[in-house]
Amino acid sequence: MPDSIPKQRVDLEDLSLHDGAAVLLRRALAGLAAGEWCEVHGDSAELAGHLAVWCRKQGIRCERQSGVPGLFRIEAPQRPPVIFTSRTEIAETAEAHWGIAPRGARIERGGPELGFTLRRKRDVWASELNSIYSQATTNQWSATRDIAWNELPKLPDDIEGAIAQVMTFLTENEFAALYVPARFIPRIHPHYSEVVEVLAMQVVDEARHKEAFTRRAEAGGAGLGTTAVSGQLSLKTLLEEPDFTTATFLLCVMGEGTFLTLLKFLADHAPDPVTAALARLAHRDEARHVAFGVEHMRYIFERAPETRLSMAAAVESRSRMLASISGLSPYVHDALVIYAGGGVSNAHVRAGARHVADLQREMDRTRRDRLQSLGFDPGLAANMSAYHTKNFM
């Protein structure tokens, strides 16, 4: 039985309930167990009436202490039940009724369920999330502030046109890379907030890439080029992938992994310093996106090695959906040849075509290496790399 000797005392002096006395009363009651008493003293003339009303509204027992003017005692009520979640322990399953509360907060029971469908740690988790996020926040750059646009030279029209076409291709891929994580963010339970934060940074990065590449296409006067049906069909299969892990694998490991090689190629062969700088900065960001994809897959494969086979099947089935597409869009292929060859003479085109063939071999090699580092055997890795979309992403 809780004893009736008050465990807390509050002297309100002349502070009335209209002036905020309830704050002090709630603080005093918060330190008590249900059924324990708090003594309240006050000089305000209306205290007796106001305190009685306030206590009635809160369902709190209030007693006037006879013989002493302005002295009352109030009983600590049952507190609403709360759920405790650990700040540091990541639960294997996050409960829907935890709502949108930050991990580690006390959560009042009875809140709404918010429809987060990715509620298992193994649906979304990865190692290195804190490090990827802190690199992302540290390495943000601005297409306005960090690019020396005034150093952009006047290039021959053929080269400028090729750059603009490459930038157009990059831009549509940036859009896809933005929409895919953006679609999944609202489905991930906030208990796994580190994943949400990493993906949010990814969305910001892609928005910046889209802005920067569009700006480069326009800065040299050529303006945006053409986007091919084949490229859009390929990106559609990414945008419509309903499973988070599969989408992450296809986008971050296979697609952005391939783009790392492409961006390095674009930086190495850039006809001007502005294009080179953009490719290098985007490459740095993409390396983080790939790191997230790789770490997520590692986490999944360690717990469910058979998921490797589902990923291989996903790559193959995507390739079947894209069977009508014979190869890289000619707009992109030809632009890359002129970009890397440095012009449209026979000699330039011969050199450029060789560079682009090397690029495609290098993309295949890095995809196979990445897949093998994730535990795919060399034969399966080679097949998967061969099935990967010819439009790179």
- Kindly list the residues in this chain that would bind Fe ion in the complex (CB under 5 A): 174, 177, 206, 209, 256, 286, 289
CB of 33 to Fe ion, least distance (A): 53
CB of 207 to Fe ion, least distance (A): 9
Residue pair 164/225 in contact by the 8 Å Cβ criterion = yes
Nearer to Fe ion, 191 or 289 (CB): 289
CB of 313 to Fe ion, least distance (A): 24
Q: Which of 325, 18, 15, 277 is nearest to 148 (CA)?
A: 277
By the 10 Å C-beta count (0-12 exposed, 13-18 middle, 19+ buried), 4 is classed as: exposed
Kind of pairing between the strands at 71-75 and 82-84: unpaired
Nearer to Fe ion, 40 or 163 (CB): 163
194-197 LR contacts (CB < 8 Å, sep 24+) = 194/129, 194/130, 194/133, 195/124, 195/125, 195/126, 195/129, 197/129, 197/133
| Structure tokens given for 381 | 């890795």
DSSP for 111-174? PPP----B-BHHHH--TTHHHHHHHHHHT---TTTSS-GGGPPPPPHHHHHHHHHHHHHHHHHH
CB of 97 to Fe ion, least distance (A): 34
CB of 320 to Fe ion, least distance (A): 25
CB of 244 to Fe ion, least distance (A): 16
Nearer to Fe ion, 29 or 281 (CB): 281
Nearer to Fe ion, 25 or 260 (CB): 260
Nearer to Fe ion, 167 or 177 (CB): 177
Nearer to Fe ion, 176 or 219 (CB): 176
**C-alpha separations of 219 from 3, 167, 213, 274, 378 in Å:** 80, 11, 10, 10, 44
- Specify the DSSP element, H or E, that contains 40: strand 37-41
Nearer to Fe ion, 107 or 238 (CB): 238
Pairwise CA distance, residues 187 & 100, whole Å: 12
CB of 191 to Fe ion, least distance (A): 25
CB of 251 to Fe ion, least distance (A): 8
Residue 241 CB neighbour total at 10 angstroms: 20
| 75 secondary structure, DSSP code | E
Nearer to Fe ion, 12 or 198 (CB): 198
